Amino acid sequence: MLLRRSPGTLRTCVFHLRSFSNAAAALVSPQEAAPFDPLAPLEYLEGFPRPDLKHAEIITAIPRITSGKNIAAKERKAGRVPSIVFEQANGQEGGNKRLISVQAKQVRKLVDHLGRSFFLSRLFELEVRSEFGDSGELIEKVRVLPRKLHLHSGTDAPLNVTFLRAPSSALLKVDVPLVFRGEDASPGLKKGAYLNTIKRTVKYLCPADIIPPYIDVDLSELDVGQKLVMGDLKVHPALRLIQSPDQPVCNIIGSRVREPKKSK
């Protein structure tokens, strides 16, 4: 039987094509969230973290013809980090991928300034040139998200980096770092209990234009024995949590302060 699509059905189809879930929208309380139109251009909303412009930087790279342990060792000896650019999540299966090398000192600087988790949740412009410097011919310029970063266990020197192309149409899985705030106001911490941090990052499916650099976790109302779960986190309504909302993020544990005994 042929079903006629109503305008409402068409709108629902577009909604799902952009992967914006009602479950994600529910992470923001109705009192605090403005009405969300899934067809409107995406932008960061007031009250939610957005990337700090002072860390905006163009990562420069040169093409790399082949891969392998010997090639990688030569690249690192020359002060370069063997890297690769994939086409979103399935690029490794043969999508639009490019072997490149980036400058070790630039990656090291960014990781030192941002921190590893924050580096992996931030978009960068990537310029692939025939050689390093403005004199090199521009081969490709693309917005990317660092997906994987391997560091030397002893020196923290970058060993290799994987980038994903991040056009506005992309939906990317991102481990978004958590920033805990409100310790001074937490009733439980004031009583001498302590914060047990269970998760440092939470995985979301994010439209590329609004990947959050981090998520604020408010501890100001947590008492002894209470916890926050992933479903409690407040994020842009277009983000979709791809882990269980019941997984704990943190809790307040420890003995309550005993009341002084009353004298008889």
pLDDT tens readout for residues 143-161: 999 999 999 999 999 999 9
User: What's the Rg (C-alpha) of the chain?
Assistant: 23
- Please identify, in words, the CATH class of the domain defined by 169-257: mainly beta
CA distance 262 to 253: 26
Sheet bearing 194-197, strands edge to edge? 194-197, 248-253, 227-229
Tens digits of residue pLDDT in 87-134: 865 544 456 789 999 999 999 999 999 999 999 999 999 999 999 988
Q: Name the β-bridge partners of 88.
A: none
Q: pTM above 0.75? A: yes
Q: Work out the angle at residue 51's Cα, subtended by the Cα atoms of residues 53 and 181, and round it to the nearest 5 degrees.
A: 125
- Please list the residues that pair with 65 across neighbouring strands: none
In CATH, what number does 53-165 get?
Answer: 2.40.240.10
Q: Where do the domains of the chain lie?
A: 53-165, 169-257
Is residue 250 within 8 A of residue 197, CB to CB? The reply is: yes
